[in-house]
Amino acid sequence: MYPILLPILFPILAGLCLLVYRKDLERKLLTGITGSCLVITGALVISVLALAKKSLILFYLTETLPIYFQIDEISVIFSVLTVVVFVCAGFFAFAYMKHEQKEKRYYGFYLIAFGVLNGLCFAGNLITFYLFFELLTLSSFPLVLHTGTREAIMAGLKYLFYSLCGAYASLYGIYFLYRHCDTLTFTAGGILQASPASPDGRFLLLVAFLMILGFGVKAGMFPMHAWLPTAHPAAPAPASAALSAVIVKAGVLALIRVIYYIFGADFLRGSWVQTAWLTLALVTVFMGSMLAYREPVLKKRLAYSTVSQLSYILFGLAVMDQDAFMGGLLHVLAHGFIKGTLFLIAGAIIFTTGKTRVDELHGIGKEMPLTMWCYTIVSLGLIGIPPTGGFVSKWYLAIGGLAGDIGIFRYIGPAVLLISALLTAGYLLPLTIRGFFPGADYDYNALQKREPARLMTIPILFMTILSVLIGLFPNIITDYLTKFVSSLL
């Protein structure tokens, strides 16, 4: 067995075994098996990242199209995020899923999605990446409709329809790239030889834009964002955490791979495609923040927030400047830990109180002080307040936007990011204020302390700490990023 395949095949096979095993398992045994699989998979990922040999051709689909795996710097960033969030959300689910049905099915698909994400991170060419990109939609789709309610089923179908439409648009682009490229292997700086001014180049610009739209569906970019605020609230909270923190980042990873490892930044820099991409990203940033600000349901508010925050990353990628690109990658990690924590906190509140709307949560800080302190800290990170990771990532995005050769977007971009940060404060901090300062009409005699179980609390605390550590020690990450980001630009 090739080592690079182990973190891909092991969780997929473990998940399939849970799905096909007909008998019900005792809950303690089921969670024990799933927890062991999560930890083992995490250990396999870390060990594979440390290997000297980090590439593998598994087999050839055609004479020139291999199924190829390769670990590079981008793989490391996304696979580490995947491991942290999936292990934390998985252990959180062991307590949360007590009130849900069909736990064995949930854990089966959850493990499969974990393995597929590892395959996506390790994909070494565009064909292998596309294969796992499609498998990710199919394996995460059951997590969205898990509860079986009409709302969940419709949300799952909407997620499936949008995702497949986006993937097919990208597949259309892959056909033309195969014709114009000698290889589809991911290569820093790109592999496309055509000039943007040539007839073929002008058509390939259109292909690039189509692929940005197609892969942007998974990242919730306007105009194909509507699935995300529908799917997240319908899914169980730990699944929402995995969706928002990691699975939607598959769209971000796809755009990095296609733009910076296939087309090349020089091919798109200064073109109408870059202008359109910047416009769509900034529209999504502002629109998502406004919709989150107006949304009364907590999980749906966080889902709209994800729409906005993901396009912070897309803006950083579209600027095609080193600082902005580093800011985008930093925000991949910061947003992953922060938004994963926020969805787990929303799940803990729903599990403990049964309340789903923000206006029902007056005094929640008195009832669940530890949980709400974590909520407050990660909310400050999402707003961009130091010393959290969100501040560092948004700092790089802003200075990269100002320094980038993007015309008027040098001024519009940072302004939109600032306005969005103010709106983020407007839709996150009122829950903290009303939670800890409920007012004179709050019945303190009925106050009941009810922190969630340790299996819920520990993952929340762990990811909260990580979101702060990124801000306190950013040089560890920025030094690592500096070593390869310049080769992409």
pLDDT of the residue at 2: 85
Percent of the chain with pLDDT over 70: 99
- The span from the CA of 107 to the CA of 393, in Å, is 33
Greatest CA separation found in the chain?
Answer: 76
Residues 104/18, Cβ–Cβ less than 8 Å = yes
pLDDT at 1 over 70: no
Query: Which residues partner with 60 through β-bridges?
Result: 66
212 Cβ contact list (under 8 Å, min separation 6): 255, 258, 259, 273, 277
pLDDT at 89 over 80: yes
Q: Which two tokens stand for residue 13?
A: 């096979």
42 band by pLDDT with thresholds 50, 70 and 90: very high
412 band by pLDDT with thresholds 50, 70 and 90: very high
pLDDT of the residue at 52: 63
Q: Is the pTM for the entire model greater than 0.85?
A: yes
Distances (CA, A) of 416 to 269, 287, 339, 393, 401: 21, 10, 20, 15, 11
The per-residue pLDDT of the chain, averaged, comes to 92
pLDDT at 420 over 80: yes
Q: HEC states along 50-92? A: CCCCCEEEEEECCCCCEEEEECCHHHHHHHHHHHHHHHHHHHH
pLDDT at 356 over 90: no
Mean pLDDT across 337-349: 95
Q: Which two tokens stand for residue 45?
A: 């990922």
Condensed to tens digits (0 to 9), the pLDDT of residues 236-277 reads 999 999 999 999 999 999 999 999 999 999 999 999 999 999
Mean pLDDT across 77-105: 92
pLDDT of the residue at 445: 67
- Please tell me the least confidently modeled range out of 21-30, 121-130, 415-424: 21-30
Q: Which two tokens stand for residue 489?
A: 């630009």
pLDDT at 50 over 90: no
Mean pLDDT across 115-130: 96
- The span from the CA of 487 to the CA of 279, in Å, is 26
pLDDT at 126 over 90: yes
Query: Cis omega (within 30 of 0) on the bond before 387?
Result: yes
How buried is residue 179: exposed, middle or buried, by Cβ count under 10 Å (0-12/13-18/19+)?
exposed
pLDDT at 335 over 70: yes
pLDDT of the residue at 80: 96
pLDDT at 233 over 90: no
Percent of the chain with pLDDT over 90: 73
Distances (CA, A) of 243 to 300, 306, 346: 13, 10, 14
pLDDT of the residue at 471: 93
pLDDT of the residue at 467: 94
